[in-house]
A and B are shown apart, each in its own frame.
Chain A
Amino acid sequence: MPLVDTAPSPPAHRGGSGPATAAPPPKAPLRTRLWAARWSYLYILPLLALLLTFVVYPIFGSLVYTFYRWNGIGEPSDFVGLDNFRQIAHDSIFWDSVAHTFVYAIVVVPVQLVIALALALVLNNKKLRFSAFYRTLFFLPVVTSPAVVGVVVQLMLSNFGDTFNSWLLDAHIIDTPVDWLGNPRIAMGIIILVGIWQTLGYNLVYFLAGLQTIPEEINEAARIDGAGPVRTFLHITVPMLRSVGLMIVILAFIGSFQVFDLVQVLTNGGPYFGTEVVNTYIYHLAFGGNQAAATQPDVGLASAASFFYGLLLIGFSVLQVLIFRSIAKRRAAGRG
């Protein structure tokens, strides 16, 4: 993640007034240094206040709730220790929702990356005119709301779902009409299809950015040496894209594991939890609103589920980085 590795440039001057050359020496008393930097503190205050209140504290705050049985009203008082975690670990609906989320990610990410890379290779051709126009065209779904897209998909299904059914029936492909969002497998397929369509643009732009870092001279040299497009792709493009590619894969997985809007709008996790993903599962636990959740919301249980899933995700990211590292090392060793 280059954003993090980027070392800030050498500071130009201290927070106070006066040119950089007249900055107090580093040994000045702390009080003087703090006072000199008073405006820096003032400027960073809004960010820190928001960050500590709405990002940092909640991470630890949710940990406290995991030890209570609490419906979200009043103060939590019913301390249950690790019971919530035990209950989550034994809840088959939780594990089903983890499985659904992983199926979503494992289908969406590879399919999407292959299409995005192919499209990026075509659009990266310097001789192709209107390449920016095509990029915009395929990128457009990214800037639209997944919730609204979910409604649009429902509208389309309500309209030609029946037409498709009669075509399929006439062609004797199916015997009974398909209940598009009522059949968990088909509903999941539709969610995956829409998910691929909606977020492909990110990966297209990422790949295009990566391809533009490959100097044209290298491709030119390969062509002069008689390498065809396939060999150029395998021996130049792929190795040169490795670091950007790792970033793209990780971002794509992280995004897919957080899927919520589409599922909530298209199926609400149904039918019978058949398309429940982890985020809808947590939402239903914490705020109710599920077909089976006539019960009280259970904030403690929801927090335990979120925390548990958060740990799973961190573990998965670390594993992913380690696997990529070891592949890179083995390749390097094999060559050297």
Chain B
Amino acid sequence: MALLTARRPAPGPRPAGRRPAVNARRAAGRSATHVLLLIGGLIWLFPFLWTLGSSFKSADGFFSQGLNPIPKHVMVSNYSGAWKEASFEKYFVNTVLVAGGAVVLTLAATSMAGYVLARTEFPGRKAVIGLISVTLFLPHGYTIIPIFDIVRGLHLLNTLWAVIIVQSSSSLVFATFLFMGYFSTMDREIEDAARVDGASFHQTFWRVMLPLSGPMLATVGLFTCITAWNSFFIPLVFTLSKPELHTLPVGMYSFLGQNSTDWTFLCAGSVISLLPIVVIFLLLQRYFVNGLAGAVKG
């Protein structure tokens, strides 16, 4: 902490007078800002720190230690218990499949569509853009019942496919607009050069344009991954009666209802649910933050 708040000494000689005092006051003010931000941040993240610590506590320690996040005796058995006995292994695999499937499906559908909408002309193009724009404004989340009906008609009820497809469709419009915006700013000469070299329409897209859209693939992929990983409502509705298909959030929810006394198992389960997505976010966060910022700035 001392490392973070330490300030470099003011460079160079200063003219005589009040300057040193002002500088000292400013440095003190800056240190105070850092201290406040660090304390605030620690309080802000306390629920996570407490959960992480408590996941290593014994059942007795969980209650006797209260607010103290540091376990007295480190117990790793909570994790093996949650993983095996409380089926978190199954929930974890299901969540990975749902998030991975949603990412692949969303990226494929929206990058292709974004490309042709931004870079090609065809009868009906404006109508498609109009349709997409309108759906952006219609209220979502109130259509789960007809969606449920369609999924039943497709005989996909109580399958992970249902969760993947419905989850992907919830973020299609936003992702298509992001890809449209990205492809429309690309230099036209790149495409022309590819075509002069004899690349077909497909080669131009898959070999030239798509690889060049790496940052946008990362942004949309990360958005979709985080949303799908954390999604609760959609997997709840579509896997309600199939515990073996639960994702982590739904599994946690049903576990809470059934065995509400296995607190330390639940702490370990929370860490299993939260940690992977937090790590993925920390590794790729600039894509996420840039994408969000672009949404309001334009």
**A interface, CB within 8 angstroms of B:** 1-6, 8-9, 11-20, 23, 30, 33-34, 36-37, 39-41, 43-44, 46-48, 50-51, 53-59, 61-62, 65, 72, 122, 127-130, 134-141, 143-156, 158-160, 163, 197, 202, 205-206, 208-210, 212-213, 244, 247-248, 251, 258, 260-261, 264-265, 279, 282-283, 286-287, 299, 302-303, 306-307, 309-310, 313-314, 317
* Interface hits, B139-181 → A, CB 8 Å: 139-150, 165-166, 168-169, 172-174, 176-178, 180-181
Question: Are B145 and A286 in touch, CB under 8 angstroms?
Answer: yes
Q: With CB as the reference atom, state the residue of chain A lying closest to B290.
A: A209
- The answer, yes or no, to whether B281 is at the interface (CB within 8 Å) is yes
Chain B hits for A50, CB < 8 A: 109, 165, 168-169, 172
Question: Are A3 and B298 in touch, CB under 8 angstroms?
Answer: yes
Q: What is the distance, in angstroms, from A237's C-beta to the closest C-beta of chain B?
A: 16
- Chain B: residues with Cβ within 8 Å of the partner, total of 113
- The answer, yes or no, to whether B37 is at the interface (CB within 8 Å) is yes
Question: Are B278 and A144 in touch, CB under 8 angstroms?
Answer: yes
Q: Mark B6-37, 1 if CB is under 8 A from A, else 0.
A: 00000000000000000000000010011001
Given contacts A2-B298, A143-B277, A148-B274, contact A264 B232 (CB under 8 A): yes
Question: Are A122 and B33 in touch, CB under 8 angstroms?
Answer: yes
Chain A hits for B149, CB < 8 A: 61
Cβ contacts A to B, 26 pairs, < 8 Å: A1-B136, A3-B295, A4-B136, A8-B118, A9-B184, A13-B195, A18-B195, A39-B116, A43-B115, A47-B112, A53-B150, A56-B135, A57-B150, A58-B143, A127-B30, A138-B40, A139-B285, A147-B230, A151-B269, A213-B297, A244-B296, A251-B296, A261-B232, A265-B232, A306-B142, A313-B139
Question: Are A47 and B120 in touch, CB under 8 angstroms?
Answer: no
Question: Are A205 and B289 in touch, CB under 8 angstroms?
Answer: yes
Q: What is the distance, in angstroms, from A77's C-beta to the closest C-beta of chain B?
A: 15
Question: Are B142 and A309 in touch, CB under 8 angstroms?
Answer: yes
Binds A, one of B59-67, B70-78, B79-87: B59-67
Question: Are A209 and B292 in touch, CB under 8 angstroms?
Answer: yes
Task: Report the separation of the CA atoms of residues A212 and B292 in the bound assembly, to the nearest whole angstrom.
Answer: 14
Q: With CB as the reference atom, state the residue of chain B lying closest to A21.
A: B192
Question: Are A17 and B169 in touch, CB under 8 angstroms?
Answer: no
Interface on chain A toward B: helix, strand, loop, or mixed SS? Answer: helix
- The answer, yes or no, to whether B185 is at the interface (CB within 8 Å) is yes
For the complex with contacts A43-B115, A144-B277, 11 further pairs of A-B residues with Cβ separation under 8 Å are A5-B298, A6-B298, A37-B120, A61-B143, A65-B146, A122-B37, A130-B4, A136-B282, A143-B288, A264-B232, A279-B141
Chain B hits for A18, CB < 8 A: 195
Q: With CB as the reference atom, state the residue of chain A lying closest to B250.
A: A147
Q: What is the distance, in angstroms, from B105's C-beta to the closest C-beta of chain A?
A: 8
Chain B hits for A251, CB < 8 A: 296
Q: Which 9 A-B pairs have the closest CB atoms?
A: A2-B298, A61-B146, A37-B122, A209-B293, A58-B143, A145-B230, A306-B142, A9-B184, A54-B169
Task: Report the separation of the CA atoms of residues A50 and B116 in the bound assembly, to the nearest whole angstrom.
Answer: 17
Listed residue (A18, A144, A154) with the most chain B CB atoms within 10 angstroms of its CB = A144
Chain A hits for B263, CB < 8 A: 155, 158-159
Listed residue (B184, B226, B232, B288) with the most chain A CB atoms within 10 angstroms of its CB = B232
- The answer, yes or no, to whether B249 is at the interface (CB within 8 Å) is yes
- The answer, yes or no, to whether B123 is at the interface (CB within 8 Å) is yes
- The answer, yes or no, to whether B212 is at the interface (CB within 8 Å) is no
Question: Are A54 and B165 in touch, CB under 8 angstroms?
Answer: yes
Partner of A44, one of B48, B112, B201, B296: B112
* Interface hits, B101-120 → A, CB 8 Å: 108-110, 112-113, 115-120
Task: Report the separation of the CA atoms of residues A205 and B128 in the bound assembly, to the nearest whole angstrom.
Answer: 31
Given contacts A155-B267, A261-B232, contact A145 B249 (CB under 8 A): yes
Q: What is the distance, in angstroms, from B52's C-beta to the closest C-beta of chain A?
A: 10
- The answer, yes or no, to whether B208 is at the interface (CB within 8 Å) is no
Question: Are A58 and B146 in touch, CB under 8 angstroms?
Answer: yes
Q: Mark B125-137, 1 if CB is under 8 A from A, else 0.
A: 1001101110111
Task: Report the separation of the CA atoms of residues A30 and B288 in the bound assembly, to the nearest whole angstrom.
Answer: 42
- The answer, yes or no, to whether B54 is at the interface (CB within 8 Å) is yes
- The answer, yes or no, to whether B240 is at the interface (CB within 8 Å) is yes
Given contacts A53-B150, A160-B67, A244-B296, contact A152 B192 (CB under 8 A): no
Question: Are A65 and B136 in touch, CB under 8 angstroms?
Answer: no
Q: With CB as the reference atom, state the residue of chain B lying closest to A39.
A: B201
